[in-house]
Amino acid sequence: MFAAFSSVNRTSVTEADAKIDGVKGRIYKFSEDIINRIYTPEESEEQNDFKSTKVLLGGYPVGLKLYADGVVVVDTESVDTENGDVDTAGNAGLQIGDVIKEINGIRVTTNKEVSQIMEQSNGVPLKLTVLRGKDVVYLDFTTAYSVSEGKYKAGIWIRDSSAGIGTVTFSMRDGYFAALGHAVCDIDTKQVIPISQGETTDVSIVEYVKGKSGCAGELCGYLESDKTGEVLFNGDLGVYGKFQAPRQTTVYEIASAKEIKVGEASIFTTIENGVIREYSISITSINEDAEDNKHLTIKITDDELINETGGIIQGMSGSPIVQNGKLVGAVTHVFLNDPTGGYGILAQTMLEKVNDISLN
């Protein structure tokens, strides 16, 4: 859903690398994966092999700093040469969203590394190893000499890191945690950010913008500078990692999919700094077999939350859903045409991912 992320490091390969450190003082806003269609669930078979687990409830924000596994191409531009503009990226077949993994067989992980190699190439073709979706592509790339800047340029904009805010769904006593319930995507390319590493920080929420039909609201906050844990996975099921010291919150048992019912429930979330609050919702449909992990359809029914935020706003993804005293899921998406409605992922599914990560 709303990946709670804004760019930290969108730079031209001819510019200095913008470091991700020292982000305190920067206000982050949240890009939104919004839904405009009506979701029709299907019946699913009950799962009888689920083993109940007790976890520490989330509902509080977490700062996330993600370092890409390679360098992401987020935009391209022509280079002004003495013979006219040259589309260096187009000539090489390089596309927006591609992840540059290696140049001439050497692994690259930062904007600065790519910038130096490109500028020092003197127009000699470079061999790029690129990840495009799930495919590895090999490209010959040639820079061009810019007459306005007096140096060789690649004509591409790249990003090696992103940062932003999400909501923790739950954590384990050993520190492993689950958050967001969906992948963090690059704010420009809208593609999942492949990460090599990442870290968590504490967050100070400073304000929120109320959502309305056709315009998603958002949380805004500051990432603190001190590291509180590691990010180990970013993918369709959410963001997962391990805290150095998990927050000691209320213990809840995770419900199996077959225990969830259409009807009243609650979400726990933070819209003002340091205050986790419970708000009433209704689970309107259940589809535990949904391939896109939109297992639950929910409706905000709490008048106070609707009056304050309009319903679900960007940055609330990962907010835990509780029903009958058990953790059943997490908020993941908001409907653009009706911010009181959205989707959720099963807590059971998130727990299975946590178990997979903790065993590796």
Give 314's DSSP letter. B
Q: Which residues are identified as catalytic? A: 182, 302, 317
Helices (H), the chain: 88-92, 111-119, 303-309, 347-359
Phi and psi at 337, nearest 5°, equal -80, -10
Question: Can you tell me the distance from the alpha carbon of 166 to that of 142, in angstroms, rounded to the nearest whole number?
Answer: 39
The C-alpha atoms of residue 330 and residue 121 are separated, in whole angstroms, by 49
Cβ neighbors of 165 (< 8 A, separation 6 or more) are 4, 28, 30, 61, 62, 63, 64, 203, 219, 221, 223, 315
Distance separating alpha carbons of residues 65 and 22, to the nearest angstrom: 11
Closest alpha carbon to 55 in 175, 200, 231, 202: 175
60 contacts 275 by C-beta, under 8 angstroms: no
User: Between the CA of residue 69 and those of 8, 155, 233, what are the distances in Å?
Assistant: 16, 21, 12
Residue 35 CA to residue 341 CA, distance in Å, equals 10
Number of helices and strands (H, E) in the chain? 4, 26
Q: Which of 223, 161, 214 is nearest to 187 (CA)?
A: 161
Q: Tell whether the torsion through CA atoms of 323, 328, 334 and 338 is positive or negative.
A: negative
Cα separation, 5 vs 72, whole angstroms = 15
Query: What is each CA distance from 46 to 2, 11, 264, 286, 287, in whole angstroms?
Result: 30, 50, 21, 12, 11
Question: How far apart, in whole angstroms, are the C-alpha atoms of residue 30 and residue 164?
Answer: 7
